[in-house]
């Protein structure tokens, strides 16, 4: 059982209410990863559902919308996994295990999103929306959607249960 403690005033030292400074700048965040990673989570999951539905409807516009979502989802998954992934230090053994799972599913997400993007482009440009090509892309994108949801689950576990990341805790600082 996880017991949450109350936040002490010391943990919020320096956080004085100021309506003129409510909006934090990018420099105020300990790391940019959480600001990027939510794009592939949302886009790849929605694209997978839309492509699955498009097996029935075979709409050209829906196919193109999925293609754009998968393209942006793949690029942001790659960016959040390889360009903006934070380095950690001082993690507990359990948090290390959770991080390994998070990274494994993040890698699966990038690979499946890349393969899904190729399948989607082939479906749109070469096979002109044939039902079987839409279905193949849908299956791959459902895999990418599952992988990104698992990476998100482990990422949330790292933040909200293991305490990795909030206010820079357990993150290596490189200036």
pLDDT for the residue numbered 21: 78
Q: Which of 72, 73, 171, 51 is nearest to 120 (CA)?
A: 51
**Quick count: other Cβ atoms within 10 Å of Cβ 44?**
30
The CA-atom distances, in angstroms, between 30 and each of 12, 84, 92, 106, 132 are: 15, 12, 20, 21, 45
pLDDT for the residue numbered 175: 47
Residue 113 in contact with residue 44, Cβ under 8 Å? yes
pLDDT for the residue numbered 107: 98
Residue 14 has pLDDT above 70, yes or no: no
pLDDT for the residue numbered 16: 72
The conformation of residue 10, written as its DSSP 8-state character, comes to: G
Residue 4 has pLDDT above 70, yes or no: no
Cα angle for residues 89, 174, 33 (degrees, 5° grid): 75
Phi, psi of 171, deg, nearest 5: -105, 135
Domain boundaries, the chain: 31-165
Per-residue pLDDT of 57-113, as tens digits, reads: 999 999 999 999 999 999 999 999 999 888 999 999 999 999 999 999 999 999 999
The CA-atom distances, in angstroms, between 110 and each of 74, 83, 102 are: 6, 13, 12
Q: What element of type H or E holds 87? A: none
pLDDT for the residue numbered 3: 45
Residue 165 has pLDDT above 90, yes or no: no
Residue 149 in contact with residue 44, Cβ under 8 Å? no
* 170 or 11: which leads in pLDDT: 170
Helices (H), 2-92: 33-57, 60-78
CB contact burial 101-119 (16+ within 10 A = b; e otherwise): bbeebbebbbebbbbbbeb
Per-residue pLDDT of 15-73, as tens digits, reads: 677 777 788 888 888 888 988 999 999 999 999 999 999 999 999 999 999 999 999 99
């Amino acid at each position: 059982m996880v017991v949450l403690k109350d936040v002490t005033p010391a943990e919020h030292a320096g956080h004085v209410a100021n309506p003129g400074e409510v909006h934090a700048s990018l420099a105020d965040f300990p790391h940019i990863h959480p600001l990027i990673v939510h794009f592939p989570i949302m886009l790849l999951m929605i694209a997978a559902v839309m492509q699955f539905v498009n097996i029935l409807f075979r709409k050209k516009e829906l196919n193109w919308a999925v293609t754009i979502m998968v393209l942006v989802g793949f690029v942001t998954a790659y960016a959040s996994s390889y360009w903006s992934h934070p380095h950690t230090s001082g993690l507990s053994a359990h948090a290390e295990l959770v991080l390994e799972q998070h990274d494994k599913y993040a890698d699966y997400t990038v690979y499946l999103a890349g393969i899904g993007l190729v399948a989607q482009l082939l479906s749109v440009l070469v096979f002109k929306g044939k039902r079987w090509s839409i279905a193949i892309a849908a299956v791959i994108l459902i895999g990418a959607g599952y992988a990104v949801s698992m990476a998100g689950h482990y990422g949330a576990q790292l933040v909200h249960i293991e305490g990795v990341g909030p206010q820079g805790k357990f993150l290596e600082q490189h200036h």
